[in-house]
Structure 1
Amino acid sequence: MSYETAADHVSFQTIRSASTPELLRSARLEEQLSLFGRFSSTKIEEWNRNAGELQDAVMSQAAILCQRQLIEEGFGSPPAAYAFVAYGSAGRNEQTLWSDQDNGLIIGKGDGPEVKAYFDRFGVRLSQLLEQAGYPPCPGNVMTSNPLWRKSTEDWIRQLESWREQLGWEQVRYLMIAADMRHISGDSKLTGELRRTTHEIFEQDSGPEGNLAAAVLRNTIRHKAALNVLGQVITEQTGDHAGDFDVKYGLYLPLVNAVRYLAVEYGISASSTQERLARLIKLEVAPYRWLESCQNAFYTALRFRSMTSYLEEDGTLSETGYLPQSMLKQKEIRRELREALGTVKLMYRTLQRQQRYAERKWL
């Protein structure tokens, strides 16, 4: 089925008309089952886009329900403009059907403490509604319920500048989360303005000690592809997933992080891995065949992420992140996995050489 046909087939009308969190969760599960049934017959790039559109529809409707509930409870309409944004895989438009929450709020100009009080309540309520709709809380607490990710535009700028000045491990991690920001609903101008400001902050020249790209590189090379020196796939050794492969941390995130670093290094402001790779290819920052291999590895990672086992509890879907060993026994899957991991391992060798060169240069 082509992307256009699939998009027409999934109208998301039941999602957009859901009037309660329970109906929203039910509509989401119904649409997910329909989309999952087309997984094997749709190109992964197209299927991933369909999955992202579905998740966007659910998150947007959750924001609408949140606003309605606060009006019904006597708190009124939002006293200032706001933007509901996504981070993580949702920000990169790379969600699985069972992704958890990764989101935040940008609050526009408004007078008085009632603005903060309203959006404090709004942020907590929205996170609760998303959980009721089937999205597990973010393990890292990157959610609208956390004040760190719920700020006015002015406070966001001050926070980003502070992270940019410090460049510790945690601050760089936060900056990279912010780099993946994408608009979901509300005032898109707020999102656009903050994205432009974020890019300008990233581009600031602060000398060797304040080099953002170098700091991102140090964080990036901590996560390596799960392939040993003999070219064998590294699987879990113990526990419930012994013999399974951790797709998220063994393949997907090392690749995403490496591409994000290259985007920062070359001043690319795009938030999705696919767009970043396309820009890197256009800029000819490396041989085309090398970047093409990275692109193929990325599509493999996307596909394998949606093939991992998942858990369902009370209508909430959560991914285990593991490709079961029964799949690893399939010759074609083993071949694709080793090939993708080999590409990522080569990327990291290149990045490690770059870091060693940079360290010698600064001595």
Structure 2
Amino acid sequence: MELQNTAPWVSSAEAIDHADTPESLRQARVDSQKWLLASQASAPLSDWLQTANDMHDRIAARAVQMCEKGMVEDGFGLPPVPYAFIAFGSMGRSESTLWSDQDNGMIISDTASVGKESYFMKFGQRISAMLEYLGYPKCEGKVMCSEPLWRKTLSEWQEQLAKWSDDFAWEPIRYLIISSDMRHIAGDEQLSAEWKRSFYALLRKHPDLPSAVLRNTVRHKATLNILGQIVTERFGEHAGDFDVKYGLYIPLVNAVRFWALQHGVEESSTLKRLRRLALLEAAPSPLLDACERAFRIALQLRMATPVQEKNGLLVSKGYLAVKPLKQGKGWHELREALSTVRRLHRALQRQLRFTEGRRS
């Protein structure tokens, strides 16, 4: 850790780990993010991101523990069988902002127990509600442990993953892509490890699966026009602004994820995936280096998006105003990063045409 004056974080981490009420845990988050916001400008990007995501992990794990205790206090008892609470999305990739929403799930042991399904339905709903109170909005796509699709026994998960991998349509592949970012957060780590083994076994079983992932990956909003000018929002409250998340960050995440799946790379972090891909020589070194530079720019710009404070918690729409961006080096960096996205997109389109041409 290279952050200066880490004492406030040590104190906040202890407050998170020892919080005994939802209110005290929420306050611990508020205190932590105040320090993180204050240190953002001076801290090395990787260290800051690691600390911010450590905060999220600790809060989520403590929330799960509190919900477990609440189930006991309300007469439902302890979990009847082992379970794992897992993360997807930006939390799964350890890339959450201070205002990220929920993307999570649950793996439940196959051990037989009366009332198991009912217990974990209530438990999953409580966890999602607790996280919402703690400042993690519910996922609009309903990727949460409160939803049956993302809360299953290990064998049900294995069956579901197999079904998704057998169907190359857009929606099943989208769910499989979401699943590929899975990371263990709390509970029985063995369940998460077994889930992951099953996931990568399916990739080895279906060698054409990465091509289906690639078809989903090459779809994204235009970020540079034919003249090389940055494309901004045309309508609505953010007209003239740039969408950092979907214009820059997500296209990079998606492309690197595709390469990772293609080459059996099991890391979930985008930066770790890039480093592993470099060791495997999975793509030309100049392109991978450019991707890492672009991704770091994307992270910095995501952190620079304007935020609002609501009841002590942060909210951001993820857009940057273009005019102030042009006054600093950010505009040049954004153009450089978007040029990499366009170059990357064209390379993936060529790969898809080549792959589909061989199959026809």
Shorter-chain TM-score bucket reads over 0.9
Structure 1 311/59 Cα, relative in aligned 2: closer, same or farther at 3 Å? Answer: same
2-side partners of 1:314 and 1:321: how far apart?
19
Structure 2 counterpart of 1:223: 220
> CA-to-partner distance for each residue in 1:192-238, whole Å, 9 max, x for gaps?
111111111122136xxxx2111111100111451112111111112
Matched, 1:358 2:359: no
Which amino acid is 1:34 matched to?
A: W
Structure 2 counterpart of 1:235: 232
Which amino acid is 2:246 matched to?
A: Y
Paired residues for 1:4-19 under 5 Å = 6=6, 9-11=9-11, 12-19=13-20
2-side partners of 1:120 and 1:304: how far apart?
38
Q: Secondary structure at the match of 1:95?
A: coil
Structure 2 counterpart of 1:85: 86
Which amino acid is 1:217 matched to?
A: L
> CA-to-partner distance for each residue in 1:279-303, whole Å, 9 max, x for gaps?
1110112222221110111111111
Q: Report if aligned partners of 2:88, 2:104 keep a CA contact under 8 Å in 1.
A: yes
Q: Report if aligned partners of 1:167, 1:215 keep a CA contact under 8 Å in 2.
A: yes
2-side partners of 1:237 and 1:97: how far apart?
27
Residue range with higher mean Cα deviation, 220-229 or 156-165:
220-229
2-side partners of 1:271 and 1:120: how far apart?
27
Structure 1 counterpart of 2:286: 289
Which amino acid is 1:120 matched to?
A: M
Paired residues for 1:1-363 under 5 Å = 2-3=2-3, 6=6, 9-11=9-11, 12-205=13-206, 211-224=208-221, 226-363=223-360
Which amino acid is 2:159 matched to?
A: R
Structure 1 4/177 Cα, relative in aligned 2: closer, same or farther at 3 Å? Answer: farther
Structure 1 230/138 Cα, relative in aligned 2: closer, same or farther at 3 Å? Answer: same
Q: Report if aligned partners of 2:259, 2:282 keep a CA contact under 8 Å in 1.
A: no
Q: Report if aligned partners of 2:81, 2:113 keep a CA contact under 8 Å in 1.
A: no
Structure 2: state its 5+ residue gaps: none
2-side partners of 1:41 and 1:51: how far apart?
14
Q: Report if aligned partners of 1:217, 1:355 keep a CA contact under 8 Å in 2.
A: yes
Q: Report if aligned partners of 1:102, 1:138 keep a CA contact under 8 Å in 2.
A: yes
Identity of aligned residues (%): 48
Q: TM-score, normalised by structure 2?
A: 0.96
Residue range with higher mean Cα deviation, 313-322 or 147-156:
313-322
Say how many residue pairs are matched: 359
Cα distance, 1:5 vs structure 2: 5.9
Alpha-carbon RMSD across the aligned residues, in angstroms, is: 1.6
Q: Report if aligned partners of 1:183, 1:191 keep a CA contact under 8 Å in 2.
A: yes
Q: Report if aligned partners of 1:136, 1:316 keep a CA contact under 8 Å in 2.
A: no
1-side partners of 2:253 and 2:332: how far apart?
21
Residue range with higher mean Cα deviation, 225-234 or 69-78:
225-234
Residue range with higher mean Cα deviation, 220-229 or 271-280:
220-229
> CA-to-partner distance for each residue in 1:275-325, whole Å, 9 max, x for gaps?
110111101122222211101111111111111123333444332011123
Structure 1 156/295 Cα, relative in aligned 2: closer, same or farther at 3 Å? Answer: same
2-side partners of 1:216 and 1:29: how far apart?
38
Structure 1 56/7 Cα, relative in aligned 2: closer, same or farther at 3 Å? Answer: farther
Cα distance, 1:53 vs structure 2: 0.2
Q: Report if aligned partners of 1:15, 1:58 keep a CA contact under 8 Å in 2.
A: yes
Which amino acid is 1:153 matched to?
A: L
Cα distance, 1:46 vs structure 2: 1.1
Q: TM-score, normalised by structure 1?
A: 0.95
2-side partners of 1:272 and 1:36: how far apart?
22
Where relative contact order (Cα < 8 A, 6+ residues apart) is larger, the structure is 1
Which amino acid is 2:2 matched to?
A: S
Cα distance, 1:4 vs structure 2: 8.5
Q: Report if aligned partners of 2:9, 2:35 keep a CA contact under 8 Å in 1.
A: no
Q: Secondary structure at the match of 1:84?
A: strand
Cα distance, 1:360 vs structure 2: 1.6
Q: Secondary structure at the match of 2:41?
A: helix
Structure 1: state its 5+ residue gaps: none
Q: Secondary structure at the match of 2:308?
A: strand
Q: Report if aligned partners of 2:100, 2:136 keep a CA contact under 8 Å in 1.
A: yes
Cα distance, 1:109 vs structure 2: 2.8
